Chains A and B, each alone.
Chain A
Amino acid sequence: MVDVPLTVRVQREAFDVAAETARLTEGRTDVGAVVTFTGLCRSEGGELAALELEHYPGMAEAEIERTARAAIERWPLLGVTAVHRHGRIAPGEPIVLVITTSSHRVAAFEAAEFLMDFLKTRAPFWKKEERHDGTTGGWVDARDHDDAAAARWEK
């Protein structure tokens, strides 16, 4: 197995992008590219009060790690960090963070996209909407285009 620094966390609290990035670059001179992706909660035109994110503890971490290890096998990465939040998340707040580092940009860009595509379709998280009028908007439906985005890597 390639020895690449890999951090996977599932947590309720917010994350610090700068601190997480520094963890992958500090003291190194071989990193030429850092790609960070942060997914935020949208208000859906002002209707959404919050998302409640349910997850499967244990499997969520394990599945993100399996996806990250697949990325490490596929691209010449120098580090991977993936953090996914659970619990109640308000519009504007971050939900997910993916950071990839490599010597050159292509590997970091592609691996970050790969990680997000698989994280959306394979990591056991489910979003439930809470509306401003106090009603529940119900569980968010999985989207076909997310499946299609993940499928394009299977070649």
Chain B
Amino acid sequence: MKIRYFAWVRERIGKAEEVVDPPPEVATTTDLLLWLKSRGEEYDWALERPEVIRVACDQVHAAPGTPLAGVSEVALFPPMTGG
């Protein structure tokens, strides 16, 4: 699964994207955030407040707890500030 990071999530983690292979118990976007958070201090810092992180699955906004089955690209980013 490809993961992409944007804005301060990208800066804190120190990369724009990576390919990860989470264990089978990581079934939803919420599970994925918690699993990533445990991967090191840069992840823990970026995801310290998982409730503010927005998630998109295959380039569509996804609510917390969205199943990851069949998803090939997940993006994590802060609330948007365009316009």
Contact = CB atoms under 8 A, between A and B. Distances in A.
B83 A126 contact: no
Contacts of A84: 82-83
A87 to B, nearest CB: 13
B65 to A, nearest CB: 19
A126 B56 contact: no
B80 A120 contact: yes
Question: How big is the B interface, by class?
Answer: 10 to 19
A125 interface: yes
Interface of B: 4, 6-8, 56, 59-61, 75, 77-83
19 contacts: A53-B82, A56-B4, A56-B59, A56-B77, A58-B59, A59-B56, A59-B59, A59-B75, A62-B59, A119-B82, A124-B75, A124-B77, A124-B82, A125-B80, A125-B83, A128-B7, A139-B7, A139-B8, A146-B83
Interface of A: 39, 53-56, 58-60, 62-63, 84, 95-96, 116, 119-128, 139-142, 146
